[in-house]
Amino acid sequence: MSTDRNRQTPEPGLDSSPTATTARPAPQGNVPWGRLALGVAIISALAALYALLSWSGALDTLTNGPLLRERIEQLGWIGPFAVIVLMTGAIVVSPIPSAPIALAAGAAYGHTWGTIYVLIGAEAGALIAFTIARVLGCDVMQKFFRQRSSLRLLGSQNTLMTIVFASRLLPFISFDVVSYAAGLTPLRLWRFAAATLTGIIPASFVLAHFGAEMVSADTDRIAISVLALGAITLIPIAIKVFRDSRRKGAKNNA
The pLDDT-based confidence of 149 (bands split at 50, 70, 90) is: very low
Report the alpha-carbon distance of residue 103 to residue 82 in Å, rounded: 14
Has residue 24 been placed in a domain? Answer: no
User: What's the half-sphere exposure (Cβ side, CA atoms, 13 Å) at 201?
Assistant: 7
Has residue 40 been placed in a domain? Answer: yes
| Number of structural domains the chain divides into | 1
Residue-wise pLDDT tens digits, 170-193: 777 888 989 998 988 889 999 999
pLDDT of residue 96: 87
End-to-end C-alpha distance for the chain, whole angstroms = 88
Has residue 119 been placed in a domain? Answer: yes
Report the alpha-carbon distance of residue 126 to residue 189 in Å, rounded: 11
The pLDDT-based confidence of 26 (bands split at 50, 70, 90) is: very low
Has residue 18 been placed in a domain? Answer: no
Percent of the chain with pLDDT over 90: 26
Residue-wise pLDDT tens digits, 52-100: 888 888 888 888 878 898 999 999 999 999 999 999 999 999 888 888 8
Has residue 16 been placed in a domain? Answer: no
The more confident residue out of 219 and 124 is 124
State the pTM of this model: 0.71
Has residue 26 been placed in a domain? Answer: no
pLDDT of residue 27: 47
Has residue 205 been placed in a domain? Answer: yes
Domain containing 173 equals: 35-253
Using CA atoms in the order 181, 186, 191, 196, what is the torsion angle rounded to 10 degrees? Answer: 0
